[in-house]
Amino acid sequence: MSLITISEWLLLLSFFLYVAATIVYVLAITGRRWANREPKEHEQRYGRAGFYLVVVGFLAQLGYVIARWIAGGHSPTSNMFEFMTFLSFCIILAFLIIYRIYRLTVLGVFVIPTGIIMLAYASVFPSKVTPLIPALKSYWLHIHVTTAALGEGILAVGFAAGLMYLVRTVPQERPSKSTAWLEIVLVVVLMLVGFILMVSTFANLDQKTVFQVPQFDSSGNVEKTLEVEYLLPAVVAPYQSTIITPGPMTPWFEAPAWMEGQDAARKLNTMLWSIISGLVLYGLFRLVLRKRLGAVLKPLLDDIEPDLLDEISYRAIAIGYPVFTLGALIFAMIWAAEAWGRFWGWDPKEVWALIVWLFYSAYLHLRLSRGWMGTRSAWMSVIGFVIILITLVVVNLVIAGLHSYAGV
Amino acid sequence: MADQRKCECGHTNPVGTVLCEFCGKPVEENGDRAFPSMRYEGMARRSQTHNKTLVDHVWNFFSSVKIAIILIVITLIAAAVGTIFPQQRYIPVPVSGESGVAAFYKDTYGMLGEIYYLLGFHKLYSSWWFVTLLVMIGMSLVICSLDRIVPLYKALSKPRVNPHLSFLKGQRLRGECEPGSDFAADETLAQAAAILKKKGYRIYREGSTLLGEKARFSRWGPYVNHIGLILFLLGVLLRGLPGMYLDEFIWVREGQTVAVPETPYYLKNVEYKTEYYREDEFPEQLDLENRLIPKNFQTDAVLYVNENADLPGAEPKLREVKSGSITVNNPFVYEDLYLYQASNQEMQLAALNFTLIDKQAGNKELGRVKLDLYEPEQEQVVAEGITVRVISYFPDFYMDESGQPATRTSQPNNPMFAVEVRSAQDGAAEKMIYVSGRIIPESEGGRYTLQIEMPDFTDITGLMVRKDKMLPLIYFGSFVVMVGLVMGFYWQHRRIWLHLEQGRLYLAGHTNKNWFGLKREAEFLVEQLALPMSLVLDSKSKNSAAENKTKEEEKPT
Ligand code: HEM
């Protein structure tokens, strides 16, 4: 068995262990009211089991990182698949650190799924080990990306704890602006889940739609035609395209003319599917549970002091912020200076790292000197992580078209 | 308004003080109002005591954290706007001139693109207003630090060892023992001192009060961090001065030596090569559809210094100073000069080769003719008594508007030669032209012709030439930033007071962060001393409501 196969098995194993850990964590909280049980003892027992599952899963994933590192000859952070996998690894690591400090069982119910979603999201991208092109051959790159990912992983724990604070404190007796916003955040999470489900389903179904897409020059004449392949059923066709290989459905409409670029329409199509599938999932939940999702989750947290959640979220951000500064900005600058002779070039990825950093700086100042704690601070920790995701997903796949690793 | 305020402990505080510098009693009698914020230890700051002159107003503006946050948020939003469409320098297709740039945004992104261009967002990060934002953040950093460092230094260097009871009762973390519980005061405090010491606290004793203090230095973290940011920004701004930053580009053919612009150096490209991965080097089978993955771009180079650089008009006199290879991610460094492997043009025409043929002698081959495309020899001897002379050469040939031959660039993209073949024996001279891969004789029925042979190719390497005199300052600033962040975030300033008054024992705790950790340590202390005391930690929300009331920006009237 080759090292790469071993690494793949280890990764799969860690995925299942994390899923199992989440289930055990949920049981640890929900099972407290089971008949003839001592609630505290029950939570401790299950909580410990969940923790061990996470530790074993983490070790398996560590094995994946090491095996793939040896097999590929470079740190497994050189494409979208590797990076997102590594980010999930960092989220779990950050969980272990924060859990060691606060020993709060319910943290596992929220943080581990965040890691699982990242891991599942990674699986959407091509997972082949590719050799490094010269531009990526620098040990500074490895140092930079791994540190940045670790910082983002710790900030993700800040996000999860902030979200927990909101779920815990937003009153669910009657609908309000706060419940609506909280539901929106949860729907966005479901859209990410929906996206993963759609892409991984259709990747195995071979239901491709192929278009022929004309490219226009500046005076509106057809310059050349390209072929564009959709993995997902086509809701939106590229501008003025014709279908060569029909897929499972005929497109409903065409992308507007200004959406240029070979992949723009396909990305729009994928985005539409993510939105649709997220909404469908949400609708199903509402139908089955007959409650707002926030109200479903709230009982998990009823026993927790909101202040403790606020503290954890802030602490995670306080730990993650310096790591992020070092990895995503300072190491990035050193590498850029070595590779391109300029430490800063305002390229979209650099700019978005700066935006994330400025945002968390604003968070810290608001908290410290304007007394923004509790709810406002929790919202900011959620928004901060959303900006990180924008940086990782949108900037990689949409804005910085040249560097896009993705095929969906 | 009195200039100085006398506290009941006898200490005289400057105007603007919130908590007595000496005993910590709130300076203003505030009745039911919540205990004031502990920020800056309740010390007076310039920004809150001066607001008369223009300088005061500017000072107060920039020392306000509210303004700092607004500046940061505006910068953040502006930075994001700059990524909606590519910046001018990242336009993916070649465009020429300002009109070309304007057309690119309009044609590619429609009306939004046009607006983007008209608002100057295509060069956002170097626009005057964006730079002004950065400068304002810098000023704010300097002034806010000055405003706070001095009072904070005064407060921290004289810890309130024996504070007023109201100070202790005003802390977020506190507890008191029921009266009547009898314990030996001195013994308890001595025990507490031992326990706290073991936990890393420094102990201060005064009368019936004990103060344990830990990691005071972490209070300086934000300021160290801000000083680092100031150094960093200074480096960035000074970089704009002439001579601080050099940014040039050179193309060098194999074997060629070129002057490095703006420096006394010359660079020779000994060899350029691109390596590709072999199939068997892949860790995993890849379906590359016959694409190759490059492994290495490398130039082997020699750097010379021109010793006559200071003598205007003198011939360059080169002395080798360094040789080595340049690859991506491994620049060639000599003193403060950096050369980066940035680009390449491989298999470019370097010289055309021909065989000179004598048609009258039964197509006899007379000899080889080489026309170098970069430095063509004016005249070459091909065989005994036969020379070939270059009459004119257009490296990038085209016919201009008036129908005259001309060259577009100096690159040999479409070389055109006019040559003359002379024979010493009969004094004849025949002209011919080489263009577009063909030989056109001046007249039919001439004696000579040129037979085209395989041309010479060369690789051209593209190197970035950089000097960045501010880089050390920028790195140093970043380093200071990190030191400050680590100081401020990975340690917390913690204080625990134990105070005996009228038979009661009071405990109070304060930290700038991580109340959870402080509470745990205080609980440990209470447990070890077996005190009949339960600790309270005020909820933050209550605290923050109080803080909103005593807004930091509030000015004394
Ligand atoms: C991009 C710029 C800035 C960054 C990255 C930054 C970063 C920081 C950080 C990390 C802290 C520590 C926060 C904490 O301990 O929770 C801090 C505190 C602080 N910052 Fe900034 N800062 C910036 C700009 C400014 C500016 C312009 C001001 C000017 C008013 C300012 C005023 C303060 C103050 C007063 C504190 C609190 C210091 C203390 O606790 O004693 N900051 N800053």
pLDDT digits (tens, 9 = 90+) for B367-426: 899 988 888 888 888 888 889 999 999 988 988 888 888 888 888 888 999 999 998 877
Cβ(A279)–Cβ(A266) under 8 Å?
no
Band of pLDDT at residue A245, cut at 50, 70 and 90: confident
A46: tokens are 């299950």
Q: Please tell me the distance from the alpha carbon of residue A385 to that of residue A94, in angstroms, as a whole number.
A: 14
CA dist B360 to B134, B214, B366, B388, Å?
79, 104, 12, 18
User: pLDDT tens digits for A130-140?
Assistant: 777 777 778 88
Residues having CB closer than 6 A to ligand 1 are A 361, 364-365, 368-369; B 63, 65, 68, 72, 137, 140-141, 144, 148, 222, 225-226, 229, 485, 488
B444 and B369, same structural domain?
yes
Mean pLDDT of chain B: 83
Residue ranges of E strands in B436-545:
438-441, 448-468, 494-501, 504-511, 536-537
CA dist B96 to B275, B277, B432, B530, Å?
33, 36, 37, 81
B499 and B465, same structural domain?
no
For residues B413-424, one letter each, b for 16 or more C-beta atoms within 10 angstroms of the residue's C-beta and e for the rest, the string is ebbbbbbebbbe
**Rounded to 10 degrees, what is the CA torsion of A351, A319, B69, A325?**
-30
Band of pLDDT at residue A114, cut at 50, 70 and 90: very high
pLDDT of residue B29: 62
**Residue whose C-alpha is closest to residue B192's, from B177, B206, B208, B212:** B212
Q: Which residues contact B278 (CB under 8 A, 6 or more apart)?
A: none
Q: Please tell me the distance from the alpha carbon of residue A364 to that of residue A368, in angstroms, as a whole number.
A: 6
Closest ligand 1 atom to residue B152 Cα is: 41
Q: Which helix (H) or strand (E) holds B145?
A: helix B128-157
Angle at B418 between CA B413 and CA B424, to 5 degrees: 140
Report yes or no: A321 at the B interface, CB cutoff 8 Å. Answer: yes
CA dist B486 to A359, B175, B495, Å?
19, 31, 20
B160: tokens are 């309130």
Report yes or no: B114 at the A interface, CB cutoff 8 Å. Answer: no
Instruction: Identify the domain containing residue B294 by its residue range.
Output: 245-346+461-469
pLDDT of residue A258: 61
Angle at B180 between CA B174 and CA B185, to 5 degrees: 70
Report yes or no: B109 at the A interface, CB cutoff 8 Å. Answer: yes
Domain-embedded: residue B239 = no
A267 pLDDT more than 80: no
B138 pLDDT more than 70: yes
Closest ligand 1 atom to residue B219 Cα is: 41
Higher pLDDT, B210 or B540: B210
**With left for phi above 0 and alpha for psi between -120 and 50, is residue B324 left, alpha or beta?**
left
A309 pLDDT more than 50: yes
User: pLDDT tens digits for B181-232?
Assistant: 566 677 788 888 888 888 889 988 887 888 889 988 999 999 999 999 999 9
Tally of domains in chain B:
4
Q: How far is A216 from chain B (nearest CA, A)?
A: 10
Mean pLDDT, rounded, for A298-305: 85
pLDDT of residue A175: 87
A140: tokens are 């500074």
Domain-embedded: residue B227 = no
Higher pLDDT, A18 or B382: A18
CA dist B476 to B213, B230, B468, Å?
31, 11, 14
Q: Which residues contact B361 (CB under 8 A, 6 or more apart)?
A: none
B423 and B362, same structural domain?
yes
Q: Which residues contact B362 (CB under 8 A, 6 or more apart)?
A: none
Amino acid at B258: V
pLDDT of residue B228: 95
Domain-embedded: residue B17 = no
Domain-embedded: residue B2 = no
Domain-embedded: residue B285 = yes
A405 pLDDT more than 70: no
Q: Which of A89-103, B235-249, B315-329, B480-494 has the lowest mean pLDDT?
A: B235-249
Question: Is the Cβ pair A371, B80 closer than 8 Å?
Answer: no
B445 and B399, same structural domain?
yes
B6 pLDDT more than 60: yes
Angle at B106 between CA B101 and CA B111, to 5 degrees: 145
Report the residue of A136, A314, A329, A346 to disrupt the B interface, i.e. the one with the largest count of B CBs within 10 Å.
A346
Mean pLDDT, rounded, for A151-176: 92
Cβ(A125)–Cβ(A405) under 8 Å?
yes
B437 and B298, same structural domain?
no
B356 and B430, same structural domain?
yes
Chain A residues closer than 8 Å to B468 by CB: 337, 341-343
Q: Which helix (H) or strand (E) holds A358?
A: helix A348-369
Reduce the DSSP state of residue B54 to 3 states and report it.
Answer: helix
Q: Which helix (H) or strand (E) holds B200?
A: none
Amino acid at B207: G
Domain-embedded: residue B23 = no
Q: Please tell me the distance from the alpha carbon of residue B423 to that of residue B384, in angstroms, as a whole number.
A: 9
**Residue whose C-alpha is closest to residue B507's, from B493, B527, B487:** B527
Q: What are the backbone dihedrals phi and psi of residue B410, each rounded to the nearest 5 degrees, phi first?
A: -95, 5
A107-122 vs A177-203: helix crossing angle, rounded to 10: 40
Give the end of a domain, one of B436, B469, B502.
B469
Residue ranges of E strands in B403-468:
405-407, 416-423, 429-435, 438-441, 448-468
Q: Please tell me the distance from the alpha carbon of residue B87 to that of residue A358, in angstroms, as a whole number.
A: 21
Give the end-to-end CA distance of chain A in Å, rounded to a whole number. Answer: 30
Q: Please tell me the distance from the alpha carbon of residue B127 to that of residue B132, in angstroms, as a whole number.
A: 9
Higher pLDDT, B71 or B526: B71
Q: Please tell me the distance from the alpha carbon of residue A50 to that of residue B73, in angstroms, as a whole number.
A: 40
**Residue whose C-alpha is closest to residue A273's, from A249, A289, A291:** A249
Mean pLDDT, rounded, for A111-132: 86
- Helices and strands, number each (H, E), in chain A: 12, 5
Mean pLDDT, rounded, for B251-276: 88
B287 and B371, same structural domain?
no
Higher pLDDT, B160 or B493: B493
**Residue whose C-alpha is closest to residue A324's, from A403, A388, A393, A397:** A388
**Residue whose C-alpha is closest to residue B143's, from B250, B47, B41, B63:** B63
The residue whose two tokens read 């709060």 is: A104
pLDDT of residue A144: 92
Cα(B222) to ligand 1 centroid in Å equals 6
Mean pLDDT, rounded, for B247-265: 87
Task: Scan residues 20-59 of B and list those with Cβ closer than 8 Å to A.
Answer: 39
B256 and B183, same structural domain?
no
Q: How many residues does chain B have?
A: 557
B363 pLDDT more than 50: yes
B361 and B302, same structural domain?
no
B391: tokens are 């009459």
B134 and B77, same structural domain?
yes
Mean pLDDT of chain A: 85
Domain-embedded: residue B497 = yes
Q: How many CB atoms lie within 10 A of CB A199?
A: 22
Band of pLDDT at residue B31, cut at 50, 70 and 90: low
Q: Please tell me the distance from the alpha carbon of residue B122 to that of residue B102, in angstroms, as a whole number.
A: 10
Cα(A169) to ligand 1 centroid in Å equals 29
Strand-pairing partners, residue B16, are none
**Domain harbouring B517, CATH code:** 3.30.310.80
Nearest to A128 among B284, B295, B537 (CB): B284
Domain-embedded: residue B135 = yes
Q: Name the residue of chain A whose CA is nearest to B90's CA.
A: A347
Give the end-to-end CA distance of chain B in Å, rounded to a whole number. Answer: 9
Chain B residues closer than 8 Å to A72 by CB: 283
pLDDT of residue B172: 85
Q: Please tell me the distance from the alpha carbon of residue B173 to that of residue B520, in angstroms, as a whole number.
A: 11
Q: Please tell me the distance from the alpha carbon of residue B251 to that of residue B534, in angstroms, as a whole number.
A: 77
pLDDT of residue B542: 46
Range A187-191, long-range pairs (CB < 8 A, 24+ positions): A187/A278, A187/A279, A187/A282, A188/A278, A188/A386, A189/A117, A190/A278, A190/A279, A190/A281, A190/A282, A190/A285, A191/A274, A191/A275, A191/A277, A191/A278, A191/A279
The gap from C-alpha A132 to its chain's centroid, in whole angstroms, comes to 24
Q: What are the backbone dihedrals phi and psi of residue A70, each rounded to the nearest 5 degrees, phi first?
A: -65, -45
Q: Which residues contact A11 (CB under 8 A, 6 or more apart)?
A: A60, A61, A64, A85, A119
**Residue whose C-alpha is closest to residue A84's, from A34, A55, A47, A124:** A124
pTM for this predicted structure = 0.85
Nearest residue CA, atom 9 of ligand 1? B222
pLDDT of residue A322: 97
Cβ(A282)–Cβ(A296) under 8 Å?
no
Higher pLDDT, B140 or B309: B140
Q: Which helix (H) or strand (E) holds A272?
A: helix A264-289
Mean pLDDT, rounded, for A378-384: 94
Report yes or no: B245 at the A interface, CB cutoff 8 Å. Answer: no
Nearest to A369 among B283, B296, B552 (CB): B552
Question: Is the Cβ pair B329, A338 closer than 8 Å?
Answer: yes
User: pLDDT tens digits for B494-508?
Assistant: 998 888 877 778 888
B333 and B366, same structural domain?
no
Cα(A290) to ligand 1 centroid in Å equals 46
Cβ(A77)–Cβ(A83) under 8 Å?
yes
B358 and B276, same structural domain?
no
A53 pLDDT more than 80: yes
B251 pLDDT more than 50: yes
User: pLDDT tens digits for B66-107?
Assistant: 899 999 999 999 998 888 887 877 776 767 777 878 888 887
